[in-house]
Amino acid sequence: MRIGYDGTCLANRRGFGRFARRLLSAFVPRATEAGHEVVVVIDAPSAASVEIPIGASPLVVDVRKAPSAAASADGRRGLLDMLAMGRAVSRAKLDLMYFPATYSFYPVWGVPRVVVTMHDTLTMEHPELVFPNRRGRLAWQLKEFVAIRSADRIATVSETSKRFLMNRLPLPEDRFRVVSEAADPIFRPIDDPSTTAAALERYGIPRQGRFLLYVGGLSPHKNLVRLVEAFAVAAPDDVSLVLTGDFKDVFHTHVPEIRRAIAAAGVERRVILTGYVPDEDLAALYSRAYALVFPSLLEGFGLPAVEAMACGAPVVASRAGSLPEVVGDAGLFFAPLSVADISRALRTILDDPALRDGLAVAALRRASTFDWDRSAVDLLACIEEFVPRRKVAGIPHLGRTTTTSRRSG
């Protein structure tokens, strides 16, 4: 098969981009070994900043603005750019097109099969927390509607997310597949004191004392205002809260509201907003953190939880979405809408170092159960469902082929 892989979100610095990059790196060797050709469809503005794995062929498309920047909460993605991407795919003679996220989806035609990853149901459950205006909301809803209608298979990143999607979409279960996530190999315990000390200094984090760490976006659905309020109640004076996140994120953020919550709680000296943190420093912060705190109202997977666990950090997380499935026995959980319950969970781990250390051991074990190679195998298995079956003993199988009607099955 000639497989197209949408590379327009490879430059994104949030979870969509991480997923797309790591899955592509693991998928290309698997697919080429199985005799398939992988074509990475990438926009020209992003082409120089992303790495295409050896064995894949790039298809660079001229557009006015990188989709990783234009596919924002404001709905600023240009129709002509999307048509240019679709036109290039239609001319590439692909057997199947794979989109690692609806975030960067664009309509395609002339391609027999389409597989799309939908990471979660966040935009269905909490659209008002993701899009600040009606235009952005409508643009996303239209794009997602077309993606769902186009997809022969919908992949998602956890069993929880699969269940949520099945409850929301009028599609049979056999249209869904799970292709999970894992931590990048850079995320491992950092034992060198000079390395961790240098990272702490770069972000103004005290070298003495404990700190709780949050990693992710600064969007309303991440529930950081309640986290700040709970921290102010639960944490003693020698504990800091470090909130990492990109101030220049194209997704909806509410940094002013977070800052107001910090000031109202009187914890300005103990809550640190770092801005964007590159992976090398992030691994050091995970390794030194007392625990990762993950208060989201909904996560389809929760990649920072696995990254933290891979560095030996336990997780104190929301019960919402997939986080209990992903974290398992390596964390404590709370009701995300209850400041009192978040405070209870924080106090529990801060007051019991032995409990914390036991969870840290479990975290390393739990992180090892997630593997990008396994994810690549699962994606390849999903794609190879559309490979024409060979004849056995002269009798052709009656399975689907790439010429079967797109809407069958």
pLDDT value, residue 250: 62
What sign for the dihedral angle of Cα 205, 209, 215, 218?
A: negative
Given strand 315-318, what is the order of strands in its sheet? 271-275, 239-244, 210-214, 291-294, 315-318, 331-334
Indicate the angle between helix axes 339-350 and 353-367, nearest 10 degrees. 100
Asked if residue 391 is part of any domain, the answer here is no
Q: Say if residue 154's pLDDT is above 50.
A: yes
Across the range 300-309, mean pLDDT stands at 96
Integer Rg of the chain from CA: 22
7 and 44 housed in the same domain: yes
Whole-angstrom distance between the N-terminal and C-terminal Cα of the chain?
Answer: 20
Q: How far, in Å, CA of 26 to CA of 164, rounded?
A: 27
Asked if residue 392 is part of any domain, the answer here is no
pLDDT value, residue 401: 35
pLDDT value, residue 122: 86
Q: How far, in Å, CA of 353 to CA of 240, rounded?
A: 16
Percent of residues, the chain, with pLDDT higher than 90: 75
32 and 118 housed in the same domain: yes
362: left (phi over 0), alpha (psi -120 to 50) or beta: alpha
pLDDT value, residue 249: 66
Tokens of 120: 């979660």
Tokens of 102: 């609806």
Range in 107-111, 138-142, 242-246, 327-331 the model is least confident about: 138-142
Q: How far, in Å, CA of 314 to CA of 286, rounded?
A: 9
Q: What is the pLDDT of residues 370-380, one digit of tens each?
A: 999 999 999 99
Which residue has better confidence, 73 or 6?
A: 6
Asked if residue 85 is part of any domain, the answer here is yes
Asked if residue 159 is part of any domain, the answer here is yes
Q: Say if residue 343's pLDDT is above 50.
A: yes
Q: How far, in Å, CA of 178 to CA of 194, rounded?
A: 40
What sign for the dihedral angle of Cα 23, 29, 35, 41?
A: positive
Single-letter residue type at 131:
F
Q: How far, in Å, CA of 340 to CA of 234, rounded?
A: 9
Q: Say if residue 132's pLDDT is above 80.
A: no
List the CATH number of the domain containing 136.
3.40.50.2000
71 and 212 housed in the same domain: no
Across the range 337-354, mean pLDDT stands at 98
231 and 152 housed in the same domain: no
98 and 228 housed in the same domain: no
Q: What is the pLDDT of residues 185-236, one digit of tens each?
A: 999 999 999 999 999 999 999 998 999 999 998 999 999 999 999 999 999 9
Q: How far, in Å, CA of 273 to CA of 241, rounded?
A: 9
Domain span at residue 131 reads: 2-182+371-386
Q: Say if residue 54's pLDDT is above 80.
A: yes
25 and 116 housed in the same domain: yes
pLDDT value, residue 399: 35
CB 292 within 8 A of CB 260: no
Q: 149, 157, 151: which is closest to 177 by C-alpha? A: 157
Q: How far, in Å, CA of 333 to CA of 314, rounded?
A: 11
pLDDT value, residue 396: 35
Across the range 354-369, mean pLDDT stands at 98
Asked if residue 60 is part of any domain, the answer here is yes
pLDDT value, residue 397: 33
Asked if residue 188 is part of any domain, the answer here is no
What sign for the dihedral angle of Cα 170, 172, 173, 178?
A: negative
Q: In total, how many domains does the chain have?
A: 2
Asked if residue 409 is part of any domain, the answer here is no
Q: State the pTM of this model.
A: 0.89
362 and 378 housed in the same domain: no
Q: What is the mean pLDDT of the chain?
A: 90
Single-letter residue type at 302:
G
156 and 11 housed in the same domain: yes
240 and 98 housed in the same domain: no
Asked if residue 393 is part of any domain, the answer here is no
Q: What is the pLDDT of residues 227-270, one digit of tens each?
A: 999 999 999 999 999 999 988 766 667 899 999 999 999 999 99
201 and 223 housed in the same domain: yes
Longest dimension (CA), the chain: 78
pLDDT value, residue 133: 76
Q: What is the pLDDT of residues 16-44, one digit of tens each?
A: 889 999 999 999 999 999 999 999 999 99
Torsion of CA 26, 385, 2, 397, to 10 degrees: 140
155 and 232 housed in the same domain: no
Cβ neighbours of residue 403 under 8 Å, at least 6 residues apart? 112
137 and 222 housed in the same domain: no
